[in-house]
Chain A
Amino acid sequence: MINLFFTWLFNKLDASSLQRMFFFIEIGIIFSHFMREVIHRSAILLKDLRQQILTFILLTIAFSFFITCIVSPFEQLYQLRTNAEGQPVSYISLFITNLISFIPLLLIWNAIYFMYHFIIKTRKQEMDTIKLEALVRQLELNTIKAHVNPHFIFNSLNGIRALIDEDPERARRAITELSNILRSSLSAEKAETVSLQQELRIVKDYLALESMRFEDRLKVEFDIDEKTVNNPVPPMMLQTLVENAIKHGISKQMKGGVVKIISDIKENQHELLVQNTGRLNGFSKHTGFGIASTKDRLSLLYGEKASFEIKQLNEDLVEAKVLMPVVSTITRISAVSDVA
């Protein structure tokens, strides 16, 4: 299209005949496509800017020569161009005039072509950067959200307000528990791992608050092997699993249910289980983030050595299971010898 326009413009300025115009249009279309093909094949657009400009100028001159070489004999043959006296011009002067007129034409065509691609590329890069930034922000936000559910915070605060009259002592304790949870969720991003013991303290505070809300609808059981309490775990991971157990399990049950937390060592791995009353149906849709983030965190920390799964254990019991390496002095030594 661009070429067509320029050919037309060029012709008009030259005040030429219709025949010549068609001739030029055909030549223009064929050569601009040919040139485009060359640009594509040599992948010039992917090179850096200085190289692009250099190739662009060289390409223009080379093609002008090329076109002139082809066009001039034709013009000579059909006597398309005449001088002021109506006599056919000599081949040399025809060649030179053609060359001089083709160079600026191709220069403009190429300039537009490169400029267009340059702008498109810059804009795409800008868009990509913005998208990436938004994604990072979203991810950060999601991690925080996944850690403490605002529904829980506000419901707890509402419960505490009711308790202030009913049981001031319990209300005071509840505020301490809530503070602990909020504080640890804020610092969770900083530490890579915490000891299970530390994590359990938060989980206990959390469950105490949920018991305040659910009252006799929530029963909590712990079965913690003493050998595991010092094993490092990702911060707020167990907390997230317990929160999901309440949100998707207990809170959906009219009569409530049990949340059981088990920690032990099985086949030289640290096994962490969260069991809750409830059913798994339609689960993945809502906890997509909880499950995905748990898996991501585990694989970032331990690679292939850790695993996570969630399944229906029996009729009305759901189990989330995390397997992690036992990090002790012995395994550290064996890890070193593995490398060696």
Chain B
Amino acid sequence: MRAIIIDDERLARTELRKLLQEFPEVEIVDEASNAEEGVQKIETHNPDLVFLDIQMPGKTGFEMLQELDHAPTVVFTTAYDDYALKAFEVNALDYLLKPIEPKRLADAIEKIRKVSNGQSIQRNSVSFSPTSMLGEHDQVFVKDGERCWFVRLSEVRLFESVGNYAKVFFGPNKPLILKSLNALEERLDPKVFFRANRKHIVNLQMIEKVESYFNGGLLLELKGGEKIEVSRRQTVKFKEMMSL
């Protein structure tokens, strides 16, 4: 596993490096001392794992993740932070409290190893560079107020345009992300995500029902119950794709 450590305190990075010596399978490829540097280094190294501090000068760890199109596997490290811990408890993200307990670190690494083994087959089939298409097994980091999630794209059923933002529908949640629908469309795998109209991108695997609509359009009913109209122009494209 190739890992990057992002923390603004040099001593904290040194300490984590030292703890990670016990785990030969984790190779630390680089370090960063702030979010800006962090984004750069994640994009150049494309690591399997990122140890990320939350409180950093400039941008917080959360804000940094929101900037990334494709979120890597992250283990958060924090000393004590009411606000952040609340977000973790809600969503069971993995986090380590500094000073890090070696046992907890071992558990976290074990957990990641298990998950990544399960995915390695799917991941290998896609050429993996940060500018490539986002596949359904990629995850994005979404934050909405106090809550935050790592969402697998396969779990997202719908993107809805709201001004400069996009509303992401998954499970019972629909938080906003600061990305335009057009930018999303360019990055999403067209085999899975379909631009139904000006305002919506739907996940084709999440369609429950297709009905014909007036004007020769279509009405898609998604698994969450949302009804999305397919514009006339896109209906032709939709039918083509589906008949294949």
User: B79 contacts which of A151, A163, A214 (Cβ < 8 Å)?
Assistant: A151
Q: Please tell me which stretch of A53-61, A102-110, A251-259, A303-311 contacts chain B, meaning at least 4 of its Cβ atoms lie within 8 angstroms of it.
A: A251-259
Chain A residues in 8 Å Cβ range of B18 = 162, 165
Given contacts A154-B97, A154-B98, A254-B34, contact A159 B11 (CB under 8 A): yes
Say yes or no: is A158 at the interface (Cβ < 8 Å to chain B).
yes
Say whether A158 contacts B15, CB under 8 Å: yes
Chain A residues, Cβ within 8 Å of B10? 215
Which residue, B10, B81, B100, has most C-beta atoms of chain A within 10 A?
B10
In the complex, are the beta carbons of B12 and A155 less than 8 A apart? Answer: yes
- Residue positions of B touching A, CB distance < 8 A: 8-12, 14-15, 18, 34, 36, 55, 57-58, 79-81, 97-100
Q: List chain B residues, Cβ under 8 A from A153.
A: 79-80
Q: Does A161 contact B (CB under 8 A)?
A: yes
Number of interface residues of A (CB under 8 A): 22
Contact A150:B11 (CB < 8 A) given known A252-B57, A254-B58: no
**A148-192 interface (Cβ within 8 A of B):** 150-151, 153-155, 157-159, 161-163, 165-166
Q: Is the Cβ of B9 less than 8 Å from the Cβ of A214?
A: yes
**Is B79 a contact partner of A161 (Cβ separation < 8 A)?**
no
Of chain A, the residue at the smallest CB distance from B59 is A254
Q: Distance (Å) between the CB of A141 and the closest chain B CB? A: 13
Question: How far does the alpha carbon of A251 sit from the alpha carbon of B81 in the complex, in Å?
Answer: 14
Tell whether A162 pairs with B15 under 8 Å between CB atoms, given A154-B97, A253-B57, A254-B58.
Answer: yes
Q: Answer whether residue A297 sits at the interface, using C-beta atoms and an 8 A cutoff.
A: no
Q: What is the bound-complex CA distance between A94 and B80, given in angstroms?
A: 82
Whether B99 lies near A251 (C-beta < 8 A) is no
Q: Flag if B9 contacts A166 (CB, 8 Å).
A: no
Please, what's the 1-or-0 string for A108-144, where 1 marks a CB less than 8 Å from any CB in chain B? 0000000000000000000000000000000000000
Once the chains are docked, how many angstroms separate the CA of A182 from the CA of B81?
19
- List 25 interface pairs A-B (beta carbons < 8 Å), by A numbering: A150-B79, A151-B55, A151-B81, A154-B79, A154-B80, A154-B98, A155-B79, A155-B98, A157-B98, A158-B11, A158-B12, A158-B15, A158-B79, A159-B9, A159-B11, A159-B12, A159-B15, A161-B15, A166-B14, A213-B9, A213-B11, A215-B11, A251-B55, A251-B57, A254-B57
**What are the residues of chain B within 8 A of A251 when measuring CB–CB?**
8, 55, 57
Task: Compute how far the CA of A153 lies from the CA of B98 in the bound complex, rounded to whole angstroms.
Answer: 10
From residue 198 to 234 of chain A, which have CB atoms closer than 8 A to chain B? 212-215
Among A158, A212, A253: residue with most chain B CB under 10 A: A158
Please give me the residue from chain B that is nearest to A164 by CB atom. Answer: B15
- Asked, given contacts A151-B79, A214-B9, A253-B57, whether A158 binds B99 with beta carbons under 8 Å apart, the answer is yes
B55: A residues at CB distance < 8 A? 151, 251
- Taken together as a complex, chains A and B put the C-alpha atoms of A157 and B100 apart, in Å, by 10
User: Whole-angstrom distance between the alpha carbons of A115 and B15 in the complex?
Assistant: 68
What is the chain B residue whose CB lies nearest that of A213? Answer: B9
- A residues in contact with B14, CB < 8 Å: 162, 166
B164 to chain A minimum Cβ distance, whole angstroms, is 22
Partner of B98, one of A158, A215, A252, A254: A158
CB <8 Å contact, A150 and B58: no
Set of chain B residues within 8 Å of A159, measured between Cβ atoms:
9, 11-12, 15
The residue among B9, B10, B11, B98 with the most chain A CB atoms within 10 A of its own CB is B11
CB distance from A216 to the nearest CB of B (A): 10
B15 to chain A: closest residue by CB: A162
> Which A residues are in CB contact (< 8 Å) with B8?
251
Give Cα distance in the complex from A56 to B9, angstroms: 74
Shortest Cβ gap from B157 to chain A (Å): 36
Inter-chain CA distance A158–B99, complex, in Å, is 5
Report the separation of the CA atoms of residues A115 and B80 in the bound assembly, to the nearest whole angstrom: 51
Residue of A whose beta carbon sits closest to that of B10? A215
Identify which of residues 304-332 in chain A touch chain B, using a CB-to-CB cut-off of 8 Å: none
Q: How far is the CA of A157 from the CA of B98 in the complex (A)?
A: 8
**A161 touching B99, Cβ below 8 Å:** yes
Q: How far is the CA of A253 from the CA of B34 in the complex (A)?
A: 10
Contact indicator B12/A151 (Cβ below 8 Å): no
Q: How far is the CA of A154 from the CA of B97 in the complex (A)?
A: 9
